[in-house]
Amino acid sequence: MKVTLISIPVRDQEKALQFYTKKLGFLLKKDAPLGGGNRWLTLVSKDWQDGPELLLEPAPNHFEPCKVFQDALLEAGYPYTQFDVDDVDAEYERLIALDVQFSIKPTTMGTVKYAVFNDTCGNNIQLVETL
């Protein structure tokens, strides 16, 4: 068994696509219409193109419990998911230059350094570097 797809709830798939590709650097893998203005929209890491796909899931627009959960995580400041990076400080500086808003600047805790940013689509995302 292996993980091949991870979904992240987004309120606007096109806005999320632009953010995740132009600012975070993910690559578009699949884009298929599903009806009702929804798409099967997946991305992959440019550094791991055969790795798991990230589905930009429009669930908060169609399933109230998903929206409530997403809102609660955002309000509490909890990250929805995390992305591993080689250098949190460098990634932080790169993303700040692209006007990405961080709620937690690079912080060391034990054997990791992390930072948290807002993806503009309803989620906090945590960057993690293993030290």
pLDDT at 2 (0 to 100): 94
Each residue's pLDDT tens digit, 6-41: 999 999 999 999 999 999 999 999 999 999 999 999
Domain that holds residue 81: 5-130
> For the purposes of burial, counting CB atoms within 10 Å of the CB of 104, is it exposed (0-12), middle (13-18) or buried (19 or more)?
middle
pLDDT at 92 (0 to 100): 98
C-beta separation of 80 from 124 below 8 A: yes
Q: What share of the chain is helix, strand, coil (3-state, %, to 5)?
A: 30, 40, 30
As for how many domains the chain has, the answer is: 1
Show the CA angle centred on residue 94, arms to residues 88 and 98, nearest 5°. 135
pLDDT at 108 (0 to 100): 98
Q: What is the CATH number of the domain that holds 75?
A: 3.10.180.10
Neighbours of 36 (CB within 10 A): 9
Each residue's pLDDT tens digit, 54-105: 999 999 999 999 999 999 999 999 999 999 999 999 999 999 999 999 999 9
Q: Distance (Å, rounded) from C-alpha 55 to C-alpha 58?
A: 9
CA distances from 8 to 18, 71, 77, 86, 90 (A): 15, 13, 16, 22, 24
Instruction: Find the largest Cα–Cα distance for the chain.
Output: 47
